[in-house]
């Protein structure tokens, strides 16, 4: 009995992992669909359609010292029903029936290992090992990190092999079929390996490093149903991508001027390219999402360009309105309109087109109103009225003064004449009184002349 045997491995533990899955084979994922065609456990393609209801997985070389070859060709297919997990290995490049045993350890072999949870100490292997006409079929358990061959359980009802032709090659080659009792249907970890000691070929899946795990994913539909759905999805996504392409081309042909619209349109083109790339790998959900984003971005670019054109036109119209008002010497409110126009132009340069429209509309309204009325606000009207009232008062006052001046002068002259006449009378009376007093001898001649002289001196009148 051998101590160690290289094997084809599928590790399985109950460990949910979310990965993108399509009807095709995604790297690192082993998709198992419901079996539509019955499997006859005879180690070969019983019919050409027996395994056509399962996804093809191509194994890749793992190059190391014991197996230095980078050649080899092998394919694996996996499917299931309610009770069993079925696995096919079609080792196209292994065309030797008698294979040597290397270092008493390595042989031509195929194995499926299920990890029942808890790591390497709870793994179960289903093995078919073949060398020099000897075949070992059965079930292995891992013990202390290694496969316990001494306690392996041989079971010919689990795996068979044959040396037959297949749909992959008309030349006879090794084919392995497994029927494993396994009822778990949740996402689980998985790994595949096969060996040809004659050609020193070691082929694996999913990664070129042994023990790197993939995902075994069970689907509750047949591959035919999934392909039908995928075809419908492909047609839907293809149509959506075509519409997105046409819309992007239409927007580009209109030569948008808005920097913001150009950026959004560039994003639409990138979304479209990403959708095409996803479509090429049958990732229809991702392709559909990118196609829809491309459409949305194209329509957004159209909306932005329209808003930009409206804002730019309104800013230009406002500029013309202000210039016209200024040429007609209608300066009322133009200073405020100019300030709003400057803000609208800045908003336009900042790609804030909605704000630019609002500011330009306000500025345009001020410019238009300036040609309808001279007075726009109550304080301005009041100032103008006050200025007009002062002019009116000055004008009326001037006319009134011109009319009143002759009358005032005449009255003044009359008053002056009256005062002169009254003084003359009083002077004559004063002299007469003095003469009477002199004649009666009450005052002397000398006193009479002195009093007369003093009176004339004070009144400013000379005799």
Query: Mean pLDDT across the chain, nearest whole number?
Result: 80
- Phi, psi (degrees; rounded to nearest 5) at 190: -150, 155
pLDDT in tens, 42-68: 999 999 999 999 999 999 998 888 899
- Check if the beta carbon of residue 160 is closer than 8 Å to that of residue 177: yes
pLDDT in tens, 187-206: 877 778 898 999 999 998 88
Instruction: Report the range out of 29-43, 117-131, 350-364 with the highest average pLDDT.
Output: 29-43
Quote the percentage of the chain above a pLDDT of 70.
78
**Neighbouring C-beta atoms of residue 139, cutoff 10 Å:** 20
Amino acid 76: pLDDT: 94
Average pLDDT score over residue span 345-370 = 88
**Residue 462 burial (C-beta neighbours within 10 Å; 0-12, 13-18, 19+):** exposed
Amino acid 422: pLDDT: 61
Q: Does pLDDT of 8 surpass 60?
A: no
**Neighbouring C-beta atoms of residue 232, cutoff 10 Å:** 11
Amino acid 210: pLDDT: 54
Average pLDDT score over residue span 288-314 = 91
pLDDT in tens, 139-149: 777 777 677 76
Give the CA radius of gyration of the chain.
58
Spatial separation of the C-alpha atoms in residues 127 and 117, rounded to whole Å = 19
The owner of tokens 């419908």 is 232
pTM for the structure as a whole: 0.55
Q: Beta 214-222 vs 29-34: how paired, if at all?
A: parallel
Q: Give residue 267's pLDDT band: very low, low, confident or very high (50, 70, 90).
A: very high
Spatial separation of the C-alpha atoms in residues 9 and 127, rounded to whole Å = 9
| DSSP-derived secondary structure letter, 70 | -
Look up residue 225 and give its two tokens: 């149903």
pLDDT in tens, 79-116: 999 899 999 999 999 998 878 888 767 788 887 777 76
Start-to-end C-alpha separation, the chain:
180
Average pLDDT score over residue span 321-329 = 86
- Check if the beta carbon of residue 352 is closer than 8 Å to that of residue 311: no
CA dihedral 316, 318, 319, 321 (to 10 degrees): 130
Quote the percentage of the chain above a pLDDT of 90.
29
Q: Give residue 360's pLDDT band: very low, low, confident or very high (50, 70, 90).
A: confident
Q: Give residue 24's pLDDT band: very low, low, confident or very high (50, 70, 90).
A: very low
Beta-strand runs (E) in 23-154: 29-34, 55-58, 60-61, 75-80, 84-91, 108-115, 123-131, 134-143, 146-147, 153-154
Look up residue 258 and give its two tokens: 């808005």
pLDDT in tens, 412-457: 666 665 555 566 677 677 778 778 777 877 777 777 787 777 777 7
Amino acid 118: pLDDT: 59
The owner of tokens 């103008």 is 384
Amino acid 16: pLDDT: 29
**Is 339 or 396 the better-scoring residue by pLDDT?**
339
What domains, with CATH codes, occur in the chain? 29-212 (2.60.40), 226-299 (1.20.120), 427-463 (no CATH)
Spatial separation of the C-alpha atoms in residues 99 and 160, rounded to whole Å = 17
Q: Give residue 387's pLDDT band: very low, low, confident or very high (50, 70, 90).
A: low
- Check if the beta carbon of residue 108 is closer than 8 Å to that of residue 128: no
**Is 306 or 373 the better-scoring residue by pLDDT?**
306
């Amino acid at each position: 009995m051998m101590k160690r045997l290289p094997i084809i491995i599928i590790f399985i533990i109950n460990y949910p992992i979310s990965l993108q899955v399509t009807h095709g084979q995604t790297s690192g994922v082993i998709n198992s669909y419901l079996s539509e065609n019955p499997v006859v456990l005879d180690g070969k393609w019983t019919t050409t359609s027996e395994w056509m209801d399962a996804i093809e997985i191509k194994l890749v070389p793992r190059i190391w010292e014991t197996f230095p070859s980078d050649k080899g060709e092998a394919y694996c297919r996996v499917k299931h029903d309610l009770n069993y997990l079925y696995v096919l290995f079609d080792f196209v490049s292994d065309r030797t029936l008698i294979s040597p045993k290397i270092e008493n350890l390595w042989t031509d072999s195929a194995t499926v290992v299920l990890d029942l949870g808890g790591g390497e100490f709870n793994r179960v292997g289903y093995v078919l090992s073949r060398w020099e006409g000897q075949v070992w079929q059965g079930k292995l358990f891992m013990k202390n990190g290694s496969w316990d061959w001494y306690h392996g359980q041989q079971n010919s009802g689990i795996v068979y092999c044959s040396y037959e032709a297949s749909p992959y090659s008309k030349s006879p080659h090794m084919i392995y079929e497994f029927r494993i009792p396994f009822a778990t249907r949740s996402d689980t970890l998985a790994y595949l390996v096969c060996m040809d000691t004659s050609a020193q070929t070691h082929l694996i899946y999913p990664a070129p490093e042994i023990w790197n795990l993939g995902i075994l994913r069970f689907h509750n539909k047949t591959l035919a149903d999934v392909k039908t759905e995928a075809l419908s999805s492909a047609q839907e996504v293809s149509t959506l991508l075509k519409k997105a392409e046409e819309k992007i081309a239409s927007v580009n042909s209109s030569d948008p001027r808005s920097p913001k619209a150009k950026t959004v349109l560039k994003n639409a083109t990138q979304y479209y390219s990403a959708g095409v790339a996803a479509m090429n790998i049958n990732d229809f959900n991702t392709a559909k999402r990118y196609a829809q984003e491309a459409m949305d971005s194209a329509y957004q670019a159209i909306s932005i360009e329209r808003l930009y054109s409206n804002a730019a036109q309104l800013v230009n119209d406002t500029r013309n309105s202000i210039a016209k008002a200024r040429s007609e010497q209608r300066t009322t409110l133009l200073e405020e309109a100019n300030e709003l126009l400057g803000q609208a132009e800045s908003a336009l340069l900042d790609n804030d087109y909605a704000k630019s429209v609002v500011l330009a509309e306000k500025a345009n309204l001020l410019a238009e109103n300036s040609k309808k009325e001279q007075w726009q606000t109550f304080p301005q009207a009041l100032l103008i009225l006050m200025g007009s009232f002062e002019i009116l008062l000055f004008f009326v006052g001037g006319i009134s003064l011109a009319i009143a001046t002759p009358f005032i002068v005449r009255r003044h002259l009359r008053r002056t004449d009256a005062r002169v006449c009254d003084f003359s009378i009083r002077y004559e009376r004063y002299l007469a009184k003095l003469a009477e007093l002199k004649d009666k001898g009450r005052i002397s001649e000398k006193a009479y002349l002195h009093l007369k002289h003093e009176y004339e001196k004070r009144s400013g009148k000379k005799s």
